[in-house]
Every structure is written in structure tokens, then in C-alpha cells.
Amino acid sequence: MKKLLSLLVIALYSHLAFAVAASSVKGIVSDKRTNEPLIGASVTIKSKAGYKEATSTGLDGSFIFRNVPQDNYEIEVKYISYQQTEIHFELKNGENPSFKIQLETKSNSLNEVNVKSRIDAGSDQSARRIEQRSDQVLNAVSAKTIEVSPDITVANVMQRVSGVSVERSNNGEAQYPIIRGMEKRYISTLVNGIKIPSPDNKNRYVPLDIFPADIVDRLEIYKSLTPNMEGDAIAGVVNLVLKTAPDDFTVQANVATGYAQSISANGFTKFDQFQSGTNANRSPRINNGNNYVATMKDFPNTPQHFGNSKAPLATILGLSLGGRTKDKKFGAIGAVSYQNQYRNTNSVFFDTQVNPANNEPAVQSIESRNYSTQQQRTAIITKFDYKFNPANSINLNASYINLTQNQFRFTSDTSLTLGRTAIGNGRVTQDPRSVRTVQQIYNFNLQGDHRIVKNFSINWAAVYSEATANENRSELALFTGRILQPNGSVTQQDVTVDALKGQTRIFGHNSDQDKSGYLNFVYAPKIFNTKIEFSAGGMYRNKTRTSTYDNYTLALPVSNSTQSYNGNIDNNAFVVSTIQGTASDALNYNFTENVAAGYGQFKFTVGKLQTLGGVRYEHTDQNWVSALPNTQTGKTGSIKYYDFLPSLNFKYALSDQQNIRLSYYSAISRPGFYELIPHTGGDPDADYKEVGNPYLKRVTAENFDLRYEFFPKALNQLLAGVFYKKINNPIEYTLEKSGLDYVLKADNFGTGYNYGFELDVTKYVRNFGFRANYTYTDSKITTTKLQDYRDGEGFLTSRTVLQSRPLQGQSKNLGNFSFLYKQPKNGFDAHISLVYTGARINTVSTYYQNDVWQKGSVTLDLSTEKRLFKKIYGYAKVNNLLNTPYQLEIRRPYPGSGQQVEYQTAGQNTFVRKDSYQQYYLLGLRYKL
Amino acid sequence: MNQRLKQLVLGAGLILMLNACHKEEIVIISQPLIQSGNVIKSDTLKGSVKGTMLTGKTYYFNSDITINDGDTLLMQSGVKLLALGDGKTAATAPEIFNHGTFISLGTKDQPNYITVKNAADLHTQATQQNYTNVFQGWWGGMVCTPAAATTTNPAPQGGDVIIKWTHVEFAGSPAGANNETAVYKAGDPRYNIYFGNLKKNFIVEDSWFFGAKDDNIRVVGGKVSIMRNTFELCGGAGGEFVNMKSGTVGDLAFNMCIGAATNSIKASDSGTSGTQCNVNVYNNTIVNGGFRQTKTGRGGSINYEAGARGSIYNNLIVNCRFGIRITPDADVANVLYGNHFFYGSSAAIVAQFYATDGIGKGVGVSKTTDILSATPQQNNPMFYGYDVNAYNFTANPGPITSNLQPYTLLTIGNANFNLKEDVSPGIKKSKTDFLPLKAVTTTGNYGTTITPPGKDIGAYQTDGTGNLH
């Protein structure tokens, strides 16, 4: 095939050559120092006679001018931050010359300090470079890749990286990464190398959809750890490197609009503001004190006032400005990003249990859910750096990120056990709900680098960050039904308000404050003629979380308990039945976590072998006080432990272009606060009620990686590796019985093993490029499950049995394929990318062989960009081209004896859930100076 | 090469030396605070209590009281135990946490009361057909479960509950955080009695229950004997007189049930405990039930759902919104039923003697042993003192707000539900050749007296046995 293709290309070339009988001039532009090809450098060929053509270099740094007549020429090559270079030559008839043009960076007295900012750090070549040079196993994604990809949030970008899949939120947006089949709890998120707190009320881990993609310069995914990195990253670390001040004054602007296909059918449902006034979105108890008796005045009906918007368009704006003073000592960059998007999601969900006689899946109800979600992301980042001299620099980084989500959800839940006599009838509960969540992150950090003497340097960081989330929820409980009448007819019942539940109003608030300090020393003496770099340092972080939670029930008055609902809640009358909120709910808590860490690390290269190793010590001290009464378990808790985490990384350079890496590291994963606090409920969005587990232990893991890397010329690369992880006390969510209900509880599950291999290939040929990666992962864990059966005497009962299964969230097969086309001449880019996520366990059932699996899926995204004027580019992106749904199933055949239900087919896997998001379109303009 | 080897050896040595060390967590989780039980010395009960409440006396509690694991609280006959509070929040609606044994030994002549201070006023309001305050919920009821496991007592056993000739009334205030969330989550209405202990006995005999806001009795596992009681006016807008879940085994017989919001007796194996819900429900009289339940298609008399099994015989079901409902997901093959006497004064009631969404749909497929008719107002049960046609059910098919229901529809008052000898169609139509389950084996003062199936349908027997009220 390959041969055929090149033959074809040659044929095409010769055809052109014969047709016009003129020469072609081609060449490759590269960095003089690193020999890296430079993509997008502008190349102009001109003659005194007035012949002039311009182009820019392709994905492999190459350019070509065709049909150039005989003459004396000058080729001029320009590239940002590089010195302009010219070559002169005479083109004779029949010659097709080829040039190798090397550019030098603009001379700069701060050479050493500047190594990284020399190349446009956000470019692909630097990303590849970083992968090759890194001390550990790493994948990087450049700003350039992000720009031409169909992604607008960092979470979306993540799924293009090898070995990474994503967990989506209920609007179909990617939210959390899953690295090598290990879910978000095993991954830590850094911004500029510094850990930031999460505004998420349930997880420690920062939801990556909060970050607009255009504020990052580079995304680094570390798959192994060194002693100077924090140890709570068993699967890996995501580091968002935000934009830094460029050498030249730079302006980038981006404006776009978008539309969700899912809105076209029924429009988008909006709801009115929750409350107005100061502190209006906090609970009446928080605003007025614990003894406050709430009245209906505290709960205006506004969030239950709904309106429809036919076709709301998204707004996407981005602007970044940056530059340096003339002496290059002081640099500043500021970037602002705003995204406002609307989407709908349609979902079908079955509540399942098991048949008590034979443990086969039994469906209890079928629920349709319609979501309308508006997301507004605002991010402001600023970064200032000052280089006193080549040995000393400081930088200050201040950022603010806000994700505000307004979500309307309407569910209609039809019982399959009560009042159900045929498809289409049964008792129905309906539930219009509006939720507004505001998540914010403030992050300030001051960092310094000082070289004290030639081989001794110090760097430090002082960090303050705050992450908050506020949630307002309003839910109305309604009944209706299509009920079989004694005469055989089916009648649609009136819609009435649930007298006991009425309306539910929930106010949740949590706020994390991190104060951290980092200090590192690096000493690089020469011992036995070998330069050895010793580093040592430490960090201390004081983290406090405060959480408040109130749940108010607005029931119907006993004297007016039968009210029908016609869509306008103002016609209904309610009374507050929980007049003081839920002051003693466990979700009212204060949690403090102090982590103190120190490490020692060495690095040296002998011959072709680089060795990096050392050990890290982390001491964790956690304390909480919740509002629970002291008659309950876990009002207060204290957990202390420490870990010694050694790591060792070998990098053997087979040649300039090939490395073999072998690494070992030990890591941990700390449970989330929400998982430890002994609460019940708190996330009404969960399919099952969630409970805390104060006895939950941290996860520890020993990790091994072996990787082969090949970086042939240009940006091409081949990475192949295997990994093995032994995981102690992995935390998994299981469904447990609690009273009459099933609850979802995090628990430790013995020892799990996770292993697999990865393959990652990138190849560029002038205008074309493709990237492909594939990861195979296998894991195994054995736990106790319940099995229901009918005993010998005919009674229904249950027994426990052992079941082995993969870890929750681990897909056996993951693959990405993306194809790029770049036409430098007219500035056209196209990018198609495909992601395959293999089947994985979504929820672990308490019953034998009844785990809920997410089906394997293929998603296809497309994006194109075209230069319209000199510095203005137009772009279009389409996400989820194939309308790939999110589907859950139980891998047991739906029993033929079960009742006839829509979506269920006897003998096929039992259908649990299907969410459809449909396509999303974006159209925008980008300006670059 | 030599050097490389050295390096590898050094590396390997380092790994061995630095072998990862993950120190076991030092975990201190606060344990439930248990006060040692105080023997009752005054008329005010506080904190953890045990001992005997003496005959003829009145006792009070204004905050939650607890009977510890292994302790016993006993009420002699003629004792009143009054909960104090406005019932509006969990803090002002005290609850009895029974982790031990609770015994109330009322007698026919000297019954006991577990109620609230303003009970008389509430009863008066009820007679005036004003149930707004009746259904407010004034205290937290009694929750009987084993204590939470602690490091010192990892497997508390809990104890029996024995209630005889006792009035229990007016519980239902919203639950607070003192409750196990598996029992009630904050804000849930509480029941008069919650019993959940697979291995222990729950005996309720000859007692009276009135005015619970939601369910009156909920049994989540236990050996039950619920005999000869009177249940009146429970559930504001939903709730059953006796609601039984997985793990419940025993007999319910000769109970008089009037004016339930939803069902009078419901059995379901939900919450699979490993012990199937298996109850025999026989010789009960169930009148005017199910009309306040606002949920579509719900509310009735006797429901067997989700995996429940047992025998249902000899019940007299008069003017209930739905008759017997055995849902298809009950353990249908093991639900035996028959010899029922249904009466309906409206066409809608008659059409649902066997609920259309249950098995045994419609009149035609009912058991030949049943007494029923497709015509309204046929087969009048001929009560001694109650007019089954006084209220117009055709005009008020439900759901209905309580305050629109007359007092006589919801309580016994001066009525008499004995069947007229010789004239009532229910006389001597019972099936008597089956046995009670007798899950509770103890008899005597601290045990149960199980009345075997009676000859006449319903709770009151012409031979003077059955319900003695």
C-alpha cells in the first residue's frame, strides 16, 4: 500500500513537471541548535524580475515551490522568535534544488534561563521534545495540537492521549480522565506543577472540564513519578502548563459560536433565578442561624418557573496578550476565556434489582430523563516573570476560573411492578428539577529560581488557592399514571403533587483552602568525572475544607393534601415541613488535612544510561468534625499515616533517536473527604444514595513501566510500552443494602492488579499527519457478592459467593486515531479524530454477576481551520459526529420470563441506561499577531 | 560495561533498601456515645433508661430516651408515658430508641398509654372532623433496632418488644440526625413503632393505635405476632397501619382496621434480608381504607408485593378503595388466599375487590370461597352498629384530603363491628383448617397468645373470641 502511494505521488509530480516544464524548489526548515523541524515558518521566494511566491512549512518542516521559472532567487524564511534567514541561488533549467535551512533563535543574554521559551513552547515540536528528554514516562499535548483539535475544554483534549479515556458528565462533556484504566481518584491535577484544590463537592480531583482549552500552553501527562513529585498519583499526573510570556508582543483572539443538534427538536428549557439579594444562594439556616424557622417566603417558586428558548447559540471568546520588556527581563501575559454553551441530553434509565428466586436481573422501573444544560466557563489567568539575571528569576501566577452550570432535568419514572399491566401503562412519578452550581478556583502562586553558585541552585514556591462550589437545587415530586381500569380501558390520570415530598430545596456549599510551600535544593557536583545531580526538598500543605448542607422539604398542608399540578406551580400551596433545615446532617463538616513531605533524589548519566532515583516521605494528618450528634459513629475522626515512596527511573539511549526506559515508583491515593465523612445521600443525581465510610483506607500501589521510544526525523515518533501495577486496598464503589434501600459506598477491596501495554505512533509527511495509539489493559480483583436463590424448602434467601472482575472504570481496549491535513500555502488545517473506549464496569453490584457495564463506543470529532485574511483564521468544529450514546447494561440475558418492556429483549444483555447527546457544532474566528 | 553493571547493582540495591513502606493508618473515629442506663427514679425520663414504670403512675420525657443493649424498660399496667414537645423539629419531638427490651403490660381494665400531653385535645379535634393537628406528628415514636456496633460491642443483639393492652398515638415528627439513616433520613416522618431485628420477637396484642402521621407500624425484619388490635385514623396523605418488609415472619389476625390512608396491611420482601417475608393475615376486619393516599392507583386494604408470601384468609374488607392486591412480583406461587368477604357501596369499589394490577384480576377469577358481588351494595355484612352505606363513595372516590372525611368514616367511636348472628353472610364462612405460623414461640405474660383462625369472617367472632375490644 505504502509503495503504491509513493508511486502515485511520483506519478503526480512528474505529470506536473511535464505539463509546465519548469523547476520546483523545495527544502526543510529547522532549528539550528536542536535540528527540530519548524512548522508554519513563512517562506518567500522572490526574484529581481518581480517573481514572488510565499508559502509556509508543513507538518514535517518542509516547503515546496512549483513551476518556478529560471532566474536568480532569494528565499527568505521568517519564524517567530527566530532570526530571519535568507539564501540566494541561481535556478538553472532542469534543476530541482533542495535546501536545508537552519534558523537561529534571536540572541539573548539570558540564554540558560531561557532554554524553554526559545522555541514556542506551545508547539508540537516542543511537546515531542519534552517527551523525549523527560526523565520519566510522559506524554505531552501542545497548544498547537489543541488549537487544531475539535476540543474546547482540557478534559476533551485528554481523551486524545494514549492510554487515556474520559468519564463524562450527564451532558456528554468529558469531565475526568481515566489513565490506563484507573479512574480519577488515582490521578492528580497540577497547574504549572502545583497541586490545586478541587471545587467538586465529592472528589479531590479537579474536574478538567472547568478549564477552557485555550488557556493552556501545554498539557503534560506523567505516567511515572520521580521523588520530587507528590506521591498521590498512582495512575499518573495531569499537569496544565498555562501560557507564559512570549519574547515578542503577542495578541491572540478567538471568537466563536456553537449550536447543539440536541436542542433542535424541542428547544432548550430555562428556569428563573433561584433567589435574589445578598447571600441569596445560601440556605436560610446559614444566612439566619441554626434556630431560624424557615417559612415559604424563603423559597420563592422561581426555580420552578420554566421557559423555552428555541435555539440558543453558544458564545466563545478568548483573548490573550503577552510580551516582554525590551531587555527581556520582565514578561507578562494575561489570558481571558469565556464560554457559554447550551446542550440537551435525553436519557432512559432502568432501576434494576435481581429476581429473588434466581439472581437474574429484574427491572423495577423505567425512567426517561431530559436534561437542558447551560455551562458558562470563565477563566482569567495572568503570569508575570522577572529575570534579575541568568541566575535568579521569580514569577507570579494568578488565576481565576469559574464554571457556572444551570441544569433543568425532567424525569418521568414508570413503575414496572405497580400498576403495570402492559407496555405504556403503570404508575408514574415525575420530577421537574432545576439545579444551579457555581464552581470557582482562585490560585495565586509565587515561584523563584536561584542559582547560588555554579552547581548549586534553589527553587521555591508559595501557594494560596481556594476552590468553592455552591449548589442550589429545586425539585418537585409529582404523580400520574396510565392505569388499567376494571373495564379494560387505560386512563391517563391527573398529575398530582406528592403530598409528603412536595418540593425539595437543597443548598450545598463547600470551600477548600490550600496553603502550601515548596522548597527544593539542587546540587550538581562532579564525582569520579560524572556529573551527579542531587536534589532534596520538601513541601507542606495545610488544607481545610468546610462544607454546609441543608435540605428543606416543602410538603402539602394536611388540610390540602390532594392538589393537581397543571405546569404552573404558583397554583399550588406548600408548607415548610423541615423548618430548620438539616443542621445535623453529616455533610455539615470541617475537614483539615496537613501533608508534610520531604525527598532526596539523585540523577546521573554514565555512558548512555541515565539513572534517576530516590525516595519521598509523605506524612498525612487528617481530622474532621461533623455536625452529627455524638450518638452516631464518626462525628469526629482522625487519620494519620506516613509513606516512604521510593522510585527509580532508567533511561538508556540506544541512539540519538531511541530510548529505552525502565521505571519503578511507589504511590498512594487518599480517599476524598466526601467518601470518609459518614454521610448519607447528598447527591440526588446519583442513581443510588451515597454513603460515607470513615474506615476507608488509602490506596497504595507499586508501579513498573518499560517503554521503548523512537523519534525519527521531524515530529514522527513511536512509543511502545508495558506497565504493571500492584494495587493494595483499591477503592471501588459498591451497591450495599442499607435498610430497604441500596446505597453506594466506597470501600477497599483487597489487592488488585493492573497491567497492559501501550502503543503510540505519530507520523507526518509534508501535508499529512496521523497519530494513533492503542492501549490494552487488564486488571483483576476478587470480591464477595450476594446471590439470591430459593432454598430447598422453597423460601427466598441469599448466600455469598466470590466473583472476580476487572477494576471499576477499566476498559480492556482503548484506541485513538487522528488524521491531520495541513495546506500551508492557503493556511488550511483539517483534523479528524476517533476515540474508541472499550467496555468497562460502571457500577459494581452487590449481586453476583450483576455489575453494570458501560458499553464500548466510538466517537468521531472533526475540526478544520482556514486562513481567511493575513492573520485571521476561520475554524469549524463538529463534536460527536456519529451521535455516539452512553450506554449501560448488565451482562446477563434479560429473562424471557421477565415482563415485556420497551428496550429490553429477552436473551440480550439487560438494558440499564442510554444517554444521547447528538452533534455539537462550533464556528469561529481566530486572530494571531 | 563494568560501570553499567555497577550502576544496575547500585540501582537494584537501592530499590531493596528503599523498599516502599506504607505505614498502617492510625484511625480514631468517634464511637456512638453510650450512657449507662439509669434505673427510673423520678417521673421524668432522660438519657439512657431502664427499670420499671410503676402501676398507676404517669411518666414524661422531653428529649430522646434510649434503652441500651441488654437493658429492659417495663411498663406495669395503668401507666401513662407522655412525650413532651411541639413536634415541629426533631429536637422538640422526642423519640424512644430501644436497643434493648421494651415491655408494656397493660390489661383490659388498666390499659397503658404511650402518647402526648395534649392527646385529649387532639382526640376532640378529630371528633370535630379537623385532623390538621392530629396528623402533625407530635413525637418521634419508638425505634427498636440493635444498637450500632462499636469497638467494645461489635455485635449488639437488641431485644424483644412486647406491647399489650396499650394505646400508642400521634407519632410522626420529622426525623433528625439522631436516627440511623438506614431507618429514617433527616426530615422523614417517623412511625409510631419501627421494629427491625430479624432474630427478636415483636408482640403487639389487644392494643390501640391512632393518629400516626405516616406508617403506624413498620417491621423491617422480626418475628411478629400482631393480634386483636384496633387501628384507627393513621396517615395524613399516605401510610399503612402495618407495613412489613423482608425478614418479617409471623401472624396478623383479628385486627380491626379503620380509616387507613393507604393499606391496612402490607407485606413485601423488599430489602432482601435472607429471610423471606412470610406472614399469615387472617380474620381481620378492614373498613374504609385507602382513600387519602394521593398516589395514583394506590391505597387499599391488604397488599402482598415484591417476593412476599403467606396465607391470606377470612378477612372482611368493607368499602376499601382497593381490595386484595397481590402484585405479579410477589412470591405468587406461595401466596394462598380465599374465604374473603368483600363489600362495596360504590361501583368503583366493587370493581377493585381484587385490584386490576394484581393477580386474580377482577371479580370473575376470584376464589369460589369468597363472598362478593359485581353489584354495589350487595351482601351487606350486617354489622351490629355501623351503616356501611352512610357515606357516598361514588361522589368521593378518592384521593381525598382528610378534613373532608367524616369522623365516623375513620374511627370506631360508638360503632360496633360485630357481625349480626345468623343474618350476616360472613358467619361461619371461614377457612379454619390452616395453622398460624407461630413464629413467636414464647407464651404467657412475656409471650404471645395466638388466636387460631376463627369460624366467622372478620375480627369479631360470634363465639366471643377474636378481637376483644
Q: Is B198 on the interface with A (CB under 8 A)?
A: no
pLDDT in the model for residue A218? 80
Which triple of cell numbers denotes residue A161? Answer: 492521549
For residue A530, give the chain B residue with the closest CA.
Answer: B3
pLDDT reading at A735 higher than 80: no
d(CA A163, CA A285): 47
Over the stretch A627-674, which tens digit does the pLDDT of each residue have? 988 888 889 999 999 999 999 989 898 888 888 999 999 999 999 888
pLDDT reading at A86 higher than 50: yes
Q: Which residue has the higher pLDDT, A467 or B185?
A: A467
DSSP element (H, E) containing A367: strand A361-389
CB contact under 8 A, A500 and B132: no
pLDDT in the model for residue B115? 94
pTM over 0.95: no
Q: What percent of chain B has pLDDT over 70?
A: 94
CB contact under 8 A, A483 and B296: yes
Give the up-direction half-sphere exposure of residue B139: CA atoms within 13 A in the CB hemisphere.
Answer: 29
Which triple of cell numbers denotes residue B89? Answer: 423539629
Interface of B with A in 134-163 (CB under 8 A): 135-136, 148, 150
pLDDT in the model for residue A520? 93
Q: Is B352 on the interface with A (CB under 8 A)?
A: yes
B88 chain-A contacts, CB cut-off 8 A: 579
A901 chain-B contacts, CB cut-off 8 A: none
Segment B255-261 shows an average pLDDT of 92
Q: Is B394 on the interface with A (CB under 8 A)?
A: no
**B399 preceded by a cis bond (ω within 30 of 0):** yes
A565 chain-B contacts, CB cut-off 8 A: none
d(CA A454, CA B15): 31
- DSSP bridge pairs for B286: B257, B317
How long is chain A?
929
Do the beta carbons of residue A887 and residue A909 sit within 8 Å?
no
Residues 6+ apart with CB under 8 A from B426: B316, B341, B371, B381, B419, B456, B457, B458
CB contact under 8 A, B272 and A737: yes
Do the beta carbons of residue A275 and residue A300 sit within 8 Å?
yes
pLDDT in the model for residue A548? 93
pLDDT band at residue A171, thresholds of 50, 70 and 90? low
Do the beta carbons of residue A372 and residue A268 sit within 8 Å?
yes
pLDDT reading at A31 higher than 80: no
Segment B60-66 shows an average pLDDT of 93
d(CA A417, CA B110): 46
Q: Which residue has the higher pLDDT, B368 or A324?
A: A324
Angstrom distances, CA of residue A457 to CA of A384, A392, A614? 21, 9, 19
Interface of B with A in 407-466 (CB under 8 A): none
pLDDT reading at A773 higher than 50: yes
d(CA B410, CA B232): 6
pLDDT in the model for residue A507? 92
Which triple of cell numbers denotes residue A751? Answer: 489487592
Segment B376-384 shows an average pLDDT of 91
CB contact under 8 A, A640 and B25: yes
pLDDT in the model for residue B12? 56
pLDDT reading at A207 higher than 90: no
Over the stretch A557-582, which tens digit does the pLDDT of each residue have? 888 888 999 989 999 999 998 888 88
pLDDT band at residue A14, thresholds of 50, 70 and 90? very low
d(CA B323, CA B309): 17
Task: Give the CATH H-level superfamily of domain A21-103.
Answer: Carboxypeptidase-like, regulatory domain (2.60.40.1120)
CB contact under 8 A, A638 and B27: yes
3 state DSSP class of B363: coil
Do the beta carbons of residue B114 and residue B138 sit within 8 Å?
no
pLDDT band at residue B104, thresholds of 50, 70 and 90? very high
DSSP-derived letter for residue B30 is P
CB contact under 8 A, B177 and A481: no
The residue type found at B124 is T
**Number of other residues whose CB lies within 10 A of the CB of residue A893:** 15
b/e map A557-579, b = 16+ CB within 10 Å: bbbbbbbebeeebeebebbbbbb
For residue B177, give the chain A residue with the closest CA.
Answer: A584
d(CA B36, CA B38): 6
Interface-testing mutation among A291, A549, A562, A786, with chain B (most B C-beta atoms within 10 A): A562
pLDDT reading at A413 higher than 80: yes
What does the angle CA A203 – CA A204 – CA A210 come to, to the nearest 5 degrees?
Answer: 80
CB contact under 8 A, B182 and A738: yes
Do the beta carbons of residue A171 and residue A268 sit within 8 Å?
no
pLDDT reading at B321 higher than 50: yes
d(CA A107, CA A120): 15
CB contact under 8 A, A643 and B23: yes
| DSSP per residue, A91-160 | EPTT---EEEEEE-BPP-TTTTTTHHHHS-TTSHHHHHHHHHH-SS-EEEEEHHHHHHSS-SBHHHHHTT
pLDDT reading at A397 higher than 50: yes
pLDDT in the model for residue A122? 53
pLDDT in the model for residue B1? 44
Over the stretch A799-843, which tens digit does the pLDDT of each residue have? 889 999 998 888 888 888 888 888 777 778 888 888 888 999 988
pLDDT reading at A110 higher than 50: no
pLDDT reading at A182 higher than 80: no
pLDDT reading at B319 higher than 80: yes
The residue type found at B339 is N
Shortest Cα distance, chain B CAs vs residue A405, angstroms = 27
CB contact under 8 A, B399 and A496: yes
Candidates A870, A856, A866; CA nearest to A831 is: A866
pLDDT band at residue A118, thresholds of 50, 70 and 90? very low
Shortest Cα distance, chain B CAs vs residue A434, angstroms = 21
pLDDT reading at A906 higher than 70: yes
- DSSP bridge pairs for A43: A55, A77
**Pairing mode, strands A174-179 and B242-244:** unpaired
| DSSP per residue, B219-268 | ESSEEEEEES-EEEEE-SSS--SEEE-TTEEEEEES-EEEEESS-SEEEE
ipTM of the complex: 0.85
Q: Is B35 on the interface with A (CB under 8 A)?
A: no
Angstrom distances, CA of residue A96 to CA of A16, A57, A180, A680, B86? 13, 18, 49, 76, 99
Segment A774-798 shows an average pLDDT of 88
Interface-testing mutation among B5, B7, B18, B184, with chain A (most A C-beta atoms within 10 A): B18
Do the beta carbons of residue A236 and residue A180 sit within 8 Å?
yes
d(CA A31, CA A12): 31
Q: Is B174 on the interface with A (CB under 8 A)?
A: yes
Segment A234-247 shows an average pLDDT of 84
Select the residue of B220, B272, B328 nearest A356 (Cβ to Cβ): B272
A559 chain-B contacts, CB cut-off 8 A: 132, 401-403
Kindly report, as residue ranges, where domains of CATH 2.40.170.20 are found in chain A. 254-928
Name the residue with cell 536561584.
A450
Q: Which residue has the higher pLDDT, A493 or A459?
A: A459
pLDDT in the model for residue A117? 30
A648 chain-B contacts, CB cut-off 8 A: 11, 14-15
3 state DSSP class of B192: coil
Select the residue of A561, A629, A637 nearest B178 (Cβ to Cβ): A629
Candidates A878, A888, A881, A882; CA nearest to A852 is: A888
Shortest Cα distance, chain A CAs vs residue B63, angstroms = 13
Strands annotated E in B269-411: 278-282, 285-287, 302-305, 310-313, 316-318, 324-326, 335-338, 341-343, 383-385
Instruction: Show me where the domains of chain B are located.
Output: 45-419
Segment B255-280 shows an average pLDDT of 90
Segment A338-355 shows an average pLDDT of 90
pLDDT reading at B18 higher than 70: no
pLDDT in the model for residue A16? 42
What does the angle CA A850 – CA A851 – CA A852 come to, to the nearest 5 degrees?
Answer: 115
A788 chain-B contacts, CB cut-off 8 A: 272
Class of A254-928 in CATH:
mainly beta
How long is chain B?
469
Do the beta carbons of residue B237 and residue A477 sit within 8 Å?
no
pLDDT band at residue A687, thresholds of 50, 70 and 90? low
Q: How far is CA A205 from the centre of its chain?
A: 10
pLDDT in the model for residue A544? 95
d(CA A760, CA A774): 7
CB contact under 8 A, B276 and A795: yes
Do the beta carbons of residue A370 and residue A410 sit within 8 Å?
yes
| Mean per-residue pLDDT over chain A, rounded | 83
pLDDT reading at A115 higher than 50: no
pLDDT in the model for residue A740? 61
d(CA B258, CA B276): 28
3 state DSSP class of A210: helix
CB contact under 8 A, B245 and A584: no
Interface-testing mutation among A359, A527, A578, A650, with chain B (most B C-beta atoms within 10 A): A578
Angstrom distances, CA of residue A38 to CA of A41, A59, A361, B104? 6, 8, 58, 90
Shortest Cα distance, chain B CAs vs residue A358, angstroms = 12
Segment B266-281 shows an average pLDDT of 88
pLDDT in the model for residue A172? 65
Select the residue of A498, A500, A635 nearest B189 (Cβ to Cβ): A500
Over the stretch B331-359, which tens digit does the pLDDT of each residue have? 888 998 889 999 999 988 988 888 887 87
Interface-testing mutation among B1, B9, B19, B22, with chain A (most A C-beta atoms within 10 A): B22
Selection from A52-56, A108-112, A590-594, B21-25 with the highest mean pLDDT: A590-594
CB contact under 8 A, B238 and A499: yes
Q: Is B385 on the interface with A (CB under 8 A)?
A: no
The residue type found at A520 is N
The 3-state DSSP composition of chain B as helix, strand, coil percent (nearest 5) reads 10, 30, 60
pLDDT in the model for residue A572? 92
CB contact under 8 A, A641 and B189: no
What does the angle CA A349 – CA A743 – CA A917 come to, to the nearest 5 degrees?
Answer: 25
Candidates B467, B427, B463; CA nearest to B252 is: B467
pLDDT reading at A556 higher than 50: yes
pLDDT in the model for residue B15? 56
DSSP-derived letter for residue B149 is P
Select the residue of B4, B236, B307 nearest A558 (Cβ to Cβ): B236
Give the up-direction half-sphere exposure of residue B263: CA atoms within 13 A in the CB hemisphere.
Answer: 21
pLDDT reading at B366 higher than 60: no
| Mean per-residue pLDDT over chain B, rounded | 88
pLDDT band at residue B45, thresholds of 50, 70 and 90? very high
Strands annotated E in A227-360: 236-242, 250-260, 268-271, 306-309, 314-324, 330-354
Angstrom distances, CA of residue B469 to CA of A401, B111, B200, B205? 71, 12, 27, 11
Do the beta carbons of residue B269 and residue B278 sit within 8 Å?
no
